[in-house]
């Protein structure tokens, strides 16, 4: 159990971050701001914020069930959500959480709310069992996702939607990709085992860890022998059907994991684009760590005239911007920042990207369309909308023999893959 002396300031910082997310801001940006300021250890802050946002619908329902206030200060509300998560996490004694939450009111300069926070949290401790039947009637509290998200999954994934929602509330797995140019997968797994890190193979060069560990514990990480990459994301390079000498484009490359996997897999000439120059620089540094080389350019892939030299590509990876609904457990604020109206906008942008990239794909070439989404509106519907308007589109079976849509589960996140060939 973490020391109680650190919980009050941690609850203060977590409440401030969660309140900003509730107001529409990115959790990643808030965590970066707190990290720059120092204070609460990052691991503790991530636990409180991620845990609260994974259970956000439930936390809101509990407060509504126990509170007699129609409206409350947003910081106080966020403090209650974070404190309720701390109570349910089992990491702290109940009396510790209640006491430290009241102290956090003072740290937030919300002194008049001390009595309210104390009473509500004590009420939860007393009524914890009886509350369950009351809040389970609330769909968002039960599944801990927005109602529109639940409805969309029910429609798109009949028979699988509850499992997908449950996985979306879980802690994400940690998977490694062994750099075949610098290490052997079996040998690397033996090194992990020798260091007390249990793993199992889930692909030719993928190792799924039994429990996440800091990258500082991974042998050979700084020497470029291994990277952290979800097993679902590791489908991309094999599905591209790569061969030495090919001219390959990764059109939306940052943060660069799939691009690095391409370069580890075959001796190709790779161009990696991203619209953000800072993200491009991070890609360059990662390629350097792994001993890889590519042409990295800051560019919007749809503005073809700005970056294309006129030579067609034989393979294109289009890992397009999307709702990120398949990786929401890694970014739990996504569930509450997204709106159903976002999906048509993403779909329109995805078709625009495909249309631009089809121009630079050579005859006989292959384009792999990828999203980290679980919604058909961004996946099958996009392919269906694009194919009739583009010349020579032929959809191919995926080389790994697996289905196009992977839903999140204990081994991997949610991804969609479609392989298109440009016929002469």
Write down the mean pLDDT value for the chain: 94
Which pLDDT score is estimated for 3?
Answer: 45
Q: Evaluate if residue 4 carries a pLDDT over 60.
A: no
Which pLDDT score is estimated for 154?
Answer: 97
Q: Evaluate if residue 2 carries a pLDDT over 80.
A: no
The alpha carbon dihedral of 178, 182, 185, 190 has a sign of negative
For residues 277 and 305, is the Cβ–Cβ distance under 8 A?
A: no
* Nearest alpha-carbon partner for 189 in 289, 202, 222: 202
Average pLDDT (212-239) is: 97
Average pLDDT (78-87) is: 97
Average pLDDT (399-419) is: 97
Average pLDDT (17-46) is: 86
The neighbouring-strand residues paired with 201 are 207
Which pLDDT score is estimated for 71?
Answer: 66
**Exposure class string for 304-321: b at 16+ Cβ within 10 A, else e:** eeebbeeebbbbbbbbbe
Confidence band of 37 (pLDDT split at 50, 70, 90): low
Q: Is residue 271 classed exposed, middle or buried when 0-12, 13-18 and 19+ CB atoms within 10 A define those classes?
A: buried
**Order of strands across the sheet that contains 175-178:** 199-201, 206-209, 175-178, 226-228
pLDDT-above-90 percentage for the chain = 90
Written in H, E and C, the secondary structure of 279-291 is HHHHHHHHHHHHC
- Catalytic residue among 239, 252, 280, 372, which? 372
Q: Evaluate if residue 253 carries a pLDDT over 70.
A: yes
Secondary structure (DSSP) of 23-77: TT--HHHHHHHHHHH--S-HHHHHHHHHHHHHTHHHHHHHHHHH---SS--HHHH
115-146 pLDDT, tens digit each: 999 999 999 999 998 898 888 889 999 999 99
Q: Which residue has the higher pLDDT, 391 or 182?
A: 182
Hey, is 127 helix, strand or coil? helix
Average pLDDT (29-40) is: 76
Q: Evaluate if residue 5 carries a pLDDT over 70.
A: no
Which pLDDT score is estimated for 30?
Answer: 87
Secondary structure (DSSP) of 330-343: TSTTHHHH--TTHH
Q: Evaluate if residue 98 carries a pLDDT over 50.
A: yes
Note if 372 is an active site residue.
yes
Hey, is 295 helix, strand or coil? strand
Average pLDDT (42-70) is: 91
Which pLDDT score is estimated for 424?
Answer: 77
Which pLDDT score is estimated for 260?
Answer: 98
Q: Evaluate if residue 268 carries a pLDDT over 80.
A: yes
Domains of the chain, each with CATH number or no CATH: 4-143 (1.10.940.10), 145-171+231-424 (3.40.50.150), 174-229 (3.30.70.1170)
Q: What's the pTM?
A: 0.90
Which pLDDT score is estimated for 353?
Answer: 98
Using CA atoms in the order 181, 185, 190, 194, what is the torsion angle rounded to 10 degrees?
Answer: 60
Average pLDDT (388-403) is: 94
Hey, is 218 helix, strand or coil? coil
301-352 pLDDT, tens digit each: 999 999 999 999 999 999 999 999 999 999 999 999 999 999 999 999 999 9
- The secondary element (H helix, E strand) that includes residue 209 is strand 206-209
Which pLDDT score is estimated for 72?
Answer: 74
- The secondary element (H helix, E strand) that includes residue 361 is strand 361-371
Q: Evaluate if residue 10 carries a pLDDT over 60.
A: yes
């Amino acid at each position: 159990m973490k020391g109680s002396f650190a919980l009050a300031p941690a609850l203060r910082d977590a409440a401030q971050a969660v309140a900003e997310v509730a107001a529409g801001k990115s959790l990643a940006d808030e965590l970066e701001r707190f990290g720059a300021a120092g204070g609460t250890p990052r691991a503790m802050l991530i636990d409180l914020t991620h845990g609260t946002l994974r259970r956000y619908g439930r936390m809101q329902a509990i407060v509504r069930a126990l509170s007699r206030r129609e409206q409350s200060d947003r910081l106080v509300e966020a403090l209650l959500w974070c404190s309720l998560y701390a109570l349910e996490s089992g990491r702290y004694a109940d009396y510790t959480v209640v006491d430290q939450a009241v102290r956090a009111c003072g740290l937030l300069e919300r002194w008049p709310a001390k009595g309210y926070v104390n009473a509500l949290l004590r009420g939860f401790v007393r009524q914890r069992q009886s509350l369950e039947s009351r809040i389970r009637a609330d769909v968002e509290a039960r599944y801990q996702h927005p109602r529109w998200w639940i409805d969309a999954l029910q429609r798109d994934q009949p028979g699988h939607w509850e499992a997908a929602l449950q996985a979306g509330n879980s802690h994400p797995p940690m998977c490694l990709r062994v750099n075949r140019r610098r290490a052997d997968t079996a040998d690397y797994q033996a090194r992990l085992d020798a260091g007390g890190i249990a793993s199992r193979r889930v692909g030719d060069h993928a190792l799924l860890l039994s429990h996440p560990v800091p990258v500082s514990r991974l042998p050979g990480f700084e020497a470029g022998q291994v990277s952290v990459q979800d097993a679902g994301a590791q489908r991309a390079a094999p599905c591209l059907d790569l061969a030495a000498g090919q001219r390959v484009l990764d059109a939306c490359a940052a943060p660069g994991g799939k691009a690095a996997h391409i370069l580890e897999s075959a001796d190709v000439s790779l161009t990696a684009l991203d619209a953000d120059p800072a993200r491009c620089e991070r890609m360059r540094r990662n390629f350097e760590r792994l001993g890889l080389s590519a042409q990295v350019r800051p560019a919007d892939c749809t503005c073809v005239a700005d970056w294309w030299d006129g030579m067609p590509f034989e393979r294109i990876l289009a890992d397009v911007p999307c709702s990120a609904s398949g990786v929401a457990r890694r970014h739990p604020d996504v569930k509450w920042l997204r709106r159903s109206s976002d999906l048509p906008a993403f779909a329109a942008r995805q078709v625009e990207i495909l249309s631009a990239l089809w121009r630079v794909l050579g005859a006989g070439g292959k384009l792999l369309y990828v999203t980290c989404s679980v919604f058909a509106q961004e996946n099958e519907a996009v392919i269906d909308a694009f194919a009739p308007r583009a010349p020579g589109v032929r959809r191919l079976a995926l080389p790994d023999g697996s289905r196009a849509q992977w839903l999140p589960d204990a081994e991997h996140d949610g991804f969609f893959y479609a392989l298109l060939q440009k016929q002469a």
